[in-house]
Amino acid sequence: MNHDNSPADCRTHDNPPPSLPRSSCLPINRCNLPAVILGSLTFQRHPTDLFLDGVAEFHANLFRRLDLIGDAAARGEAFRDYVTVHFRLERLEDAGLDEQNARDETGSSAKRVNANWMRTLRGWSFDADGREGAVLKGWVESRFGLLPRFHGEALHDLSAPAYRRYLEMRSAGLYGTNALEAQLDLLYAYCQYEFLRGPPRSHLRLYRGVNRLDEHEVLSDAGRRQTVLFNNLASFSTSRERAGEFGDYILAADVPTAKIFFHYALLPGVLKGEDEHLVIGGAYDVAIGTL
């Protein structure tokens, strides 16, 4: 029996110990691979496609429609239109919204009409440790089984006030929305669909700037190469110079495209940061350099 308030160990009796710490993943998720595999160094080196349970099947009509559209920009518009209509984002009263009775914690009207996938991503751009960031990290936790490691402060103890604060922010971000996490499911599926429509590639070389090397959990250290456990969702850039604006040290990683949740070019105008990619975390082999 587990008495330390942490999730069940990610390892199994039949496999060697994984590269993930005990407290970094859940034993179940809503994906075709368990967290211990998709979050491992082995997956980084030998990735395969990731599928969220039931998303492609439930939205099969969308993907059949996209198959008939040759232009990427036109597919993006078709995706936006589909999400808007399917989730009634411009007519939330059809989904049961009662604005007269919707109140936030201050007692004023809760403008949850704007709490959709796009606003959530923009909120992340302004503050990854804010309410929208908590929603996105919670979505990764639920779908991929990777627990957040940081949200304003370290989240290594699931019984600590920091973790309860994260849960409260996540709940507040989801309250009153129309299936916001299901919107994010579809967004990830669309991102992966577009990678498959493009030139064949299994990885992208991405960069992340940090001010101190101890800002991340280092699982193994070989000087200029380290195995780093990233937060369950983290921002990277395709531009080494742009990453250097965020820190003196540059972490370079070959990121499987299967672990890219969203990127700036997928639907232009959503993320404020040029070259930004939102990457699902886990263990990564990184090269460390400076500008």
197-254 pLDDT, tens digit per residue, is: 999 999 999 999 999 888 889 999 888 899 999 999 999 999 999 999 998 999 999 9
Res 137 pLDDT > 70: yes
Q: Quick one: what percent of the chain has pLDDT higher than 70?
A: 86
Res 107 pLDDT > 90: no
Closest C-alpha to 132, from 122, 142, 146, 140: 122
Q: Cα dihedral angle (200, 203, 207, 213), rounded to 10 degrees?
A: 180
Give domain status of residue 186, yes or no: yes
Tokens of 97: 């919204």
**Strand, coil or helix: what is 180?**
helix
Please enumerate in sequence order all residues whose Cβ is within 8 A of that of 124, keeping only pairs 6 or more positions apart, or say none.
Answer: 130, 132, 133, 136, 235, 278
Res 263 pLDDT > 80: yes
Q: What is the pLDDT of residue 135?
A: 98
- The 10 Å Cβ neighbour count of residue 88 is 15
Residue with tokens 């390892």: 11
Q: Indicate if 235 and 161 belong to the same structural domain.
A: no
Res 2 pLDDT > 90: no
Res 3 pLDDT > 50: no
Closest C-alpha to 44, from 258, 192, 261, 271: 258
Q: What is the pLDDT of residue 149?
A: 96
Largest CA distance in the chain: 59
Tell which of 160, 178, 197 closes a domain: 197
Q: What is the pLDDT of residue 281?
A: 97
Q: What is the pLDDT of residue 114?
A: 63
Give domain status of residue 167, yes or no: yes
Q: What is the pLDDT of residue 147?
A: 97
Q: 94 pLDDT band (50/70/90 cuts)?
A: low
pLDDT in tens, 154-182: 998 989 999 999 999 999 999 988 899 99
Q: Indicate if 184 and 210 belong to the same structural domain.
A: no
Query: What is the Cα gyration radius of the chain?
Result: 19
Q: What is the pLDDT of residue 13?
A: 41
Q: What is the pLDDT of residue 97?
A: 56
Mean pLDDT of the 24-51 span? 96
Mean pLDDT of the 128-152 span? 97
Q: What is the pLDDT of residue 105?
A: 46
Tell which of 164, 197, 230 closes a domain: 197
Range of the domain at 92: 55-197
Q: Indicate if 254 and 132 belong to the same structural domain.
A: no
Tell which of 197, 228, 260 closes a domain: 197
Q: Indicate if 187 and 244 belong to the same structural domain.
A: no
CB 132 within 8 A of CB 120: yes
Q: Quick one: what percent of the chain has pLDDT higher than 90?
A: 72
Q: What is the mean pLDDT of the chain?
A: 88
Range from 22-26, 37-41, 99-103, 243-247 that averages highest in pLDDT: 37-41
Mean pLDDT of the 20-27 span? 88
Residue with tokens 């399917």: 86
Helix H or strand E encompassing 242: helix 240-243
Give domain status of residue 27, yes or no: no
Q: Indicate if 76 and 169 belong to the same structural domain.
A: yes
Of 114 and 166, more confident: 166
Number of domains in the chain: 2
Give domain status of residue 82, yes or no: yes
